[in-house]
Structure formats: C-alpha cells, structure tokens
C-alpha cells in the first residue's frame, strides 16, 4: 500500500522544525516527539502523520466497535485519539459537565504522508497514489527556511481564568475524602480546568515553547481543522509490540531544583514518600487487573515499581507493568478493557469515575484521553494526554486541565499546590506568548 524511501539528514533537530512548519499546510496533522528521551520502549525519535486519505470521527456511542471496524478495513497506519469520555462506551456512565472545546469523542485518520525520524535517518511512507511526490516533498522540507517569528502576539495577552477558586477546590477535595473514608473508593484523580475565552494563540509556536521548556518523551502536536492539542506529556498509556503489552502509569510528583544537591534530596524524598508510593502502588494494582482481562494467564508482571524519573519541570514516579496478550484478543480489546487509564481515574475505577463526574466542573474531553497510532500489523503506542493545552480556534477558547490523585492521606492545601506545580509550564507559555 505504501512506497518507502529512506534519506540521511545532517541535522535531525533542524529537520524536525522543517517538518512541523511544512505540515501546517494540511488540515490533519499529528506530530509525536520523544525529545531523545532515553526510554526503553521508544521506537522512533519523532513521527509525523499528515493529509487524511480516510478518517473516522464519532461520539462515544459504540465508538470502540466502530474503531475496530475502521482499523481492520484500512490495514494501514492510522493515527488519532480517544477522549476520556469513551468511558461511556465502556461502562454505563455519562458526561454531563460543560464542554467548551467541542472535540469529537474519537478521531482517527489514515495519512497519505508519513515520516519516521530515528537518529539521522528519515523514512517517508507514502500511499502509492502519491508516491511520485516523495522526492519533491523531501527537497522542499530540506530547503525550508526557519523564519524567526515576531514575538508580539497579535491576539493580545492571554488572561487565564480559574474554573474553581482555591476554596471551592478544597471543598471538593474534602467531599472526595469523605467518599474515601466511608469506603466508596481508595483513590481518585480529581481535576480542575484553567481557561481563556475570546483569546487566540499561534498553535505551533505555543507548542514549540511548551515543548522547549518541558522536553517530555511523549510530546504531541495535533491539528484537526480548527482544533488543536499542544501536549508535553511525560506518560505512556499503552503500547503493543507483537504479543507484549506495556503500560507505564505515573503517580507521584515533586518539583525540580536548580541546586543539584537539593534536587537529589527531592528525588530521595519522592522515592520514600509513603503517600506518593501508596498512590502509585494502588494504580499498579488497578492496571494489573485491567491487563489480566486480555492477558495469557500468569503473564502480567510488574517490571519496574515506583522508579523516579526526572524531567525538566518535575520529578515523576513511574511504574512499568507488562503482559502477554491472548492471541484471540484484538488490539481494540486491549484498549477497551484498560480505558480510561488507571492513573487518570482511580480505584475502584467505576466508582471513581462516577464521583469524578459529580465533583468536576468541566467535561474532560481529550484531556486524560490518549493520542497515538496503530501499525498495519495491529501494534500500537498511545500516550496519556496531560500537561497539555487544548485550543478551539473558531471559538477562540484556550484550556488546560490539571489534577492529582486524592487518597486518605491527602491534604487539600498540598493537593492544590501540586496542581499549580503541574500547571506551571502551561501558564508560563500562555502568559508569555
């Protein structure tokens, strides 16, 4: 179905910028960047998919079955996202909070043009119908000039508003703690939205700024007509390599420090913090249970428990859980039986999602959903949409949401401070544009 050509590039960092600039001519764009982060399960340094040949766009109703049919029909690379609200397709749940962004619940497309960057090699995978354009496109991309953009924002300064005041946030956390203390749940991820109305941004420049200060392993730039996701996600949701399934939930966050000795102290404190470890272990138990639904009996294994990884903005506690999938289960089965991801819901999952829906003020939508791709063979790799800016250009609405795990040991004031820490990069980027 595709013609493949490989080229050697002298400066991969420069080619990345050229590819992103060149991609803006298309209505459908997904850019995935590992930022050269040393990650055991990373296949590519960066991937670009543009220019839809076919696509699927739907609400949550019967969404996973529709995606499975589409994935089987194409038997090709497809790129897209699952929004958090596909929970309503998996369980008897509803999403009734206000939606100001209007992203479809599910969207995937089959790109005509596909690029994989690894080291100094770039592979271009083009559908046969346009394979005569490979050489010309590569020549154009190489010759593109990196034009320095004017720093002035023609839209004016972005004014961030809070969906919840600090006092209201704390009241809602206390309600969550009441549920925990009476045994309804053990843990739940509670989120709050920050937003700007009647505001505009340059999406690509905003993504560059966010990525440059965060440099995470699962960065994403998504464009779907007038809808944009600019993500600095550090978290993998789920990956399939043959019969192997990998999930890497994050629970546990600490700030960075410029002083190396103090920064090391913060790492040690996070490693040994009983609250942070208990949060992480609860979610590990949840994802082990989720993976067991499609796994060969006895194959679910915790490969790494509560390991602290350092990113530019924060330290994070990450665990890695793996399994072998039963050969009779489809790739979509694996996604459906683990979605939404445990790190963004809680335990028990269904009870947590009901309480989350009741206490949060905004529809999550793509936030705490996932972006990624399927290969022609049915393998896949998906991130978790956190540390992200969402933008509806038509409505001139900008949004970012942050949250944290609430457990019996949670202190509402400290939880609020953790939210502000996670929001710091997005706020800085938007206020400086």
Domain boundaries, the chain: 2-432
| Percent of the chain residues topping a pLDDT of 70 | 98
Residue 134: pLDDT above 90? yes
d(Cα 382, Cα 384) in Å, to the nearest integer?
7
Residue 432: pLDDT above 90? no
Residue 88: pLDDT above 60? yes
Dump pLDDT digits (tens) for 386-400. 999 999 999 999 999
Residue (of 253, 227, 209) closest to 366 by Cα position: 227
Total-model pTM: 0.95
CA distances from 299 to 286, 291, 408, 427 (A): 15, 9, 31, 42
Q: Exposed (0-12), middle (13-18) or buried (19+): which is 139, by Cβ within 10 Å?
A: exposed
pLDDT of residue 152: 54
pLDDT of residue 153: 57
Dump pLDDT digits (tens) for 41-83. 999 999 999 999 999 999 999 999 999 999 999 999 999 999 9
> Token pair of 148, please?
């320095």
In the chain, how long is the greatest CA-to-CA distance?
Answer: 65
Dump pLDDT digits (tens) for 167-224. 999 999 999 999 999 999 999 999 999 999 999 999 999 999 999 999 999 999 999 9
Is residue 83 within 8 A of residue 105, CB to CB? The reply is yes
Buried b (16+ CB within 10 A) or exposed e, 332-346: bbbbbbbbbbbbbbb
- The CATH-assigned architecture of domain 2-432 is 4-Layer Sandwich (3.60)
pLDDT of residue 149: 52
H or E segment to which residue 185 belongs: none
Residue 321: pLDDT above 60? yes
Report DSSP state, residue 214: H
Residue 368: pLDDT above 90? yes
- What is the average per-residue pLDDT within 408-428? 94
pLDDT of residue 146: 57
Residue numbers annotated as active site: 235, 251
pLDDT of residue 1: 84
Residue 148: pLDDT above 60? no
- What is the average per-residue pLDDT within 26-40? 92
Strand 28-33 relative to strand 314-324: parallel, antiparallel, unpaired? unpaired
- What is the average per-residue pLDDT within 20-30? 97
Say if residue 340 is preceded by a cis peptide, omega within 30 of 0: yes
Residue 147: pLDDT above 70? no
Dump pLDDT digits (tens) for 295-312. 999 999 999 999 999 998
pLDDT of residue 400: 98
DSSP string, 235-290: -EEEEEETTEEEEE-EEEEEE--SSHHHHHHHHHHHHH-HHHHHHHHHHHHHHHHH
Residue 150: pLDDT above 70? no
| Percent of the chain residues topping a pLDDT of 90 | 93
Q: Exposed (0-12), middle (13-18) or buried (19+): which is 312, by Cβ within 10 Å?
A: middle
**pLDDT classification of 313: cutoffs 50, 70, 90:** confident
């Amino acid at each position: 179905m595709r013609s493949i050509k490989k080229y050697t590039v002298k400066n991969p960092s420069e080619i990345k910028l050229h590819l992103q600039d060149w991609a803006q001519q298309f209505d459908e764009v997904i850019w995935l960047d590992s930022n050269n982060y040393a990650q055991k399960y990373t296949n590519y340094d960066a991937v670009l998919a543009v220019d839809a040949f076919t696509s699927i766009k739907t609400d949550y109703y019967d969404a996973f079955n529709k995606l499975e049919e589409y994935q089987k029909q194409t038997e090709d690379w497809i790129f897209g996202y699952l929004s958090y609200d596909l929970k309503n397709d998996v369980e008897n749940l509803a999403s009734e909070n206000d939606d100001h962004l209007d992203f479809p619940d599910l969207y995937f497309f089959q790109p005509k043009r596909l690029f994989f960057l690894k080291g100094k090699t770039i592979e271009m995978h083009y559908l046969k119908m346009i394979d005569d354009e490979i050489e010309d496109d590569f020549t154009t991309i190489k010759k593109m000039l990196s034009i320095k953009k004017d720093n002035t924002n023609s839209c004016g300064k972005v004014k961030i508003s809070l969906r919840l005041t600090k006092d209201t946030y704390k009241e809602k956390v206390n309600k969550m703690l009441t549920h925990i203390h009476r045994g309804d749940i053990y843990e739940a991820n509670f989120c709050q939205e920050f937003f700007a109305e009647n505001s505009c941004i340059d999406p690509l420049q905003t993504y560059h700024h966010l990525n440059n200060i965060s440099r995470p392993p699962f960065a994403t730039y998504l464009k779907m007509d007038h809808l944009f996701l600019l993500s600095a996600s550090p978290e993998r949701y789920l990956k399939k390599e043959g019969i192997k399934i990998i999930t890497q939930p994050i629970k546990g966050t600490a700030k960075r420090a410029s002083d190396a000795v103090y920064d090391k102290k913060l790492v040690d404190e996070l490693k040994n913090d009983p609250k942070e470890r208990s949060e992480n272990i609860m979610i590990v138990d949840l994802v082990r249970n989720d993976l067991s639904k499609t796994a060969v009996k006895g194959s679910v294994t915790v490969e790494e428990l509560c390991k602290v990884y350092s990113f530019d903005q924060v330290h994070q506690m990450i665990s890695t859980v793996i399994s072998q999938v039963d050969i009779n289960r489809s790739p979509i089965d694996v996604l459906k039986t683990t979605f939404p991801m445990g790190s963004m819901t809680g335990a028990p999952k269904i009870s947590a999602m009901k309480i989350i829906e009741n206490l949060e003020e905004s529809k999550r939508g793509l936030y705490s959903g996932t972006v990624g791709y399927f290969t022609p063979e049915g393998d896949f790799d998906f991130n978790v949409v956190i540390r992200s800016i969402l933008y509806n250009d038509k409505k001139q609405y900008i949004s970012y949401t942050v949250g944290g795990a609430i457990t019996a040991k949670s202190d509402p004031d400290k939880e609020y401070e953790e939210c502000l820490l996670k929001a710091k990069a997005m706020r800085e980027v938007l206020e400086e544009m």
